[in-house]
């Protein structure tokens, strides 16, 4: 099984051979995965967009217009964030999608995303939150348990939404939850200054490390294809910039220094496979194979996520793998003595909400 979006991303020449049925799948799955704009960028970069059927082109071009407007909006939001936080002496690091725009990474091309992720020092999280609230950013309604969950255990507080523009900020103080045994102080991550605004972002190696850690500790994958192609592009950019050492070795050395080997080895396994770097792939595969559960359970589950046209179409084994990734993500976030009460509490809460929404028999008669 091969994901058509990944195949087209890796080999844009494939556009010459696609049927109308294939294009309908590209549009449908591309929209679900927020990949339409990126596929269009790849087709244009390789001068094969003329092979796209006329009926399909508007889907790509309309997405492209959205991406162009998104970039304008994000630059405006970053300026607003800078005026709000940096002016108060709060050093602020821009993460992921907004960072790709800010540094003009190739990852920005065609990438659609919902939130602006920023990171501040843990000691300044409350000051940053208050500063943003004074400028119109507010939380949705929080329960006492939600507040405790985010502020005591997680690496971020609940999202802040602007009252007028409805844009969302995810305010982080780390890249891993405080309950993750691999958690470390975020000041170990290397940052660089942005040119257009007085904000920071991670250097290229740590940009890869952060994105890979985020993807390979998740348990749900609404945009898995977009996210793995982010990593492919970041790896290629690093490989192009590295003068004395390969991207492969730089990433391995950095992940070991940060204690994130388990997550980064998984990321490299799939990135190198897509880039046809067989020698490096075999080296990483030998590292991953040292853990039997990772090699025989986690890897096949992720392989399904990245190769299926739709994870909803999986068989029993695939679904077991997806359930394992979901449970694995929770075990990564929390130790069992915290996780079990949390799951029970959330289950009871969800059941109560469900019964609230369902009308009592005869209520609508």
Query: Under 8 Å CB-to-CB from 110, ≥6 apart: which residues?
Result: 35, 36, 37, 38, 39, 40, 41, 42, 63, 64, 67
Residue 349 pLDDT > 80: no
CB neighbourhood size of 164 (10 A): 6
Residue 327 pLDDT > 50: yes
Please give the residue that has the higher pLDDT: either 128 or 337: 128
pLDDT tens profile 171-186: 999 999 888 889 999 9
Compute the distance between CA of residue 265 and CA of residue 154 in angstroms, rounded to an integer: 24
Residue 57 pLDDT > 50: yes
Compute the distance between CA of residue 122 and CA of residue 91 in angstroms, rounded to an integer: 11
Compute the distance between CA of residue 140 and CA of residue 352 in angstroms, rounded to an integer: 19
The per-residue pLDDT for 315 is 85
The per-residue pLDDT for 124 is 95
Assign 3-class secondary structure to 93-122. EEEHHHHHHHCCCHHHCCCCCCEEEEECCH
Query: Under 8 Å CB-to-CB from 263, ≥6 apart: which residues?
Result: 212, 213, 216, 217, 255
Compute the distance between CA of residue 169 and CA of residue 161 in angstroms, rounded to an integer: 6
| pTM confidence score | 0.91
Rg (CA), the chain: 21
pLDDT tens profile 200-250: 999 999 999 999 999 999 988 989 999 999 999 999 999 988 666 889 999
SS3 state at 242: coil
Tokens of 18: 């696609």
Compute the distance between CA of residue 140 and CA of residue 160 in angstroms, rounded to an integer: 7
Compute the distance between CA of residue 136 and CA of residue 81 in angstroms, rounded to an integer: 11
Please give the residue that has the higher pLDDT: either 142 or 128: 128
SS3 state at 174: coil
The per-residue pLDDT for 37 is 95
Cα angle vertex 192, ends 234, 71, to 5°? 60
Using CB atoms within 10 A of its CB, is residue 9 exposed (0-12), middle (13-18) or buried (19+)? buried
Going by pLDDT thresholds of 50, 70 and 90, the confidence category of residue 140 is confident
Percent of the chain with pLDDT over 70: 93
The per-residue pLDDT for 180 is 87
Compute the distance between CA of residue 90 and CA of residue 100 in angstroms, rounded to an integer: 21
Using CB atoms within 10 A of its CB, is residue 154 exposed (0-12), middle (13-18) or buried (19+)? buried
Q: What are phi and psi of 105, to 5 degrees?
A: -70, 150
Please say whether the beta carbons of 52 and 60 come within 8 A.
yes
Cα angle vertex 136, ends 135, 141, to 5°? 135
State the average pLDDT for the chain: 90
- CA of residue 73 relative to chain centroid, distance: 20
Compute the distance between CA of residue 172 and CA of residue 178 in angstroms, rounded to an integer: 11
* Tally of CA atoms within 13 A in the half-sphere of 313 that contains its CB: 7
pLDDT tens profile 145-171: 667 667 777 888 899 999 999 999 999
* Tally of CA atoms within 13 A in the half-sphere of 29 that contains its CB: 24
The least confident of 32-41, 147-156, 229-238, 346-355 is 346-355
């Amino acid at each position: 099984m091969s994901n058509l979006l990944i195949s087209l991303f890796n080999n844009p020449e494939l556009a010459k051979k696609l049927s109308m049925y294939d294009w309908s799948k590209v549009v449908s799955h591309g929209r679900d995965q927020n990949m339409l704009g990126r596929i269009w960028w790849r087709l244009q970069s390789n001068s094969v967009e003329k092979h796209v059927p006329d009926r399909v082109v508007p889907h790509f071009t309309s997405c492209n217009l959205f991406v162009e407007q998104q970039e304008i909006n994000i630059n405006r939001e970053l300026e607003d964030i800078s005026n709000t936080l940096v002016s108060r002496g709060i050093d602020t690091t821009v993460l992921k999608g907004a960072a790709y725009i800010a540094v003009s990474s190739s990852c920005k091309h065609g990438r659609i995303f919902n939130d602006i992720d920023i990171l501040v020092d843990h000691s300044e999280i409350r000051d940053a939150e208050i500063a943003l609230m004074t400028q119109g950013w507010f939380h949705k309604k929080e329960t006492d348990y939600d507040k405790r969950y985010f502020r005591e255990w997680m690496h971020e507080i609940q999202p802040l939404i602007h009252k007028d523009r409805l844009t969302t900020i995810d305010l982080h103080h780390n890249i891993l939850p405080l309950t993750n045994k691999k958690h470390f102080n975020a000041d170990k991550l290397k940052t660089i200054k942005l040119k257009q605004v007085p904000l920071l972002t991670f250097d290229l190696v740590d940009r890869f490390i952060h994105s890979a850690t985020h993807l390979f500790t998740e348990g749900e994958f609404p945009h898995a294809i977009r996210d793995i192609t982010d990593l492919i592009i970041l790896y290629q950019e690093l490989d192009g910039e590295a003068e004395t050492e390969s991207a492969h070795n730089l990433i391995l050395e950095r992940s070991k220094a940060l204690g994130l080997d388990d997550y980064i080895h998984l990321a490299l396994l799939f990135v190198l496979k897509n880039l046809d770097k067989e020698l490096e792939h075999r080296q990483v595969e030998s590292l991953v194979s040292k853990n039997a559960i990772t090699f025989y359970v986690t890897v096949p589950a992720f392989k399904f996520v990245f190769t299926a046209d739709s994870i909803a179409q999986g068989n029993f084994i695939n679904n077991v793998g997806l359930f394992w990734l979901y449970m694995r993500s929770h075990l990564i976030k929390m130790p069992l003595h915290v996780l079990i009460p949390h799951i029970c509490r959330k289950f009871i809460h969800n059941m109560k909400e469900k019964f609230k929404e369902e009308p009592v028999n005869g209520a609508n008669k």
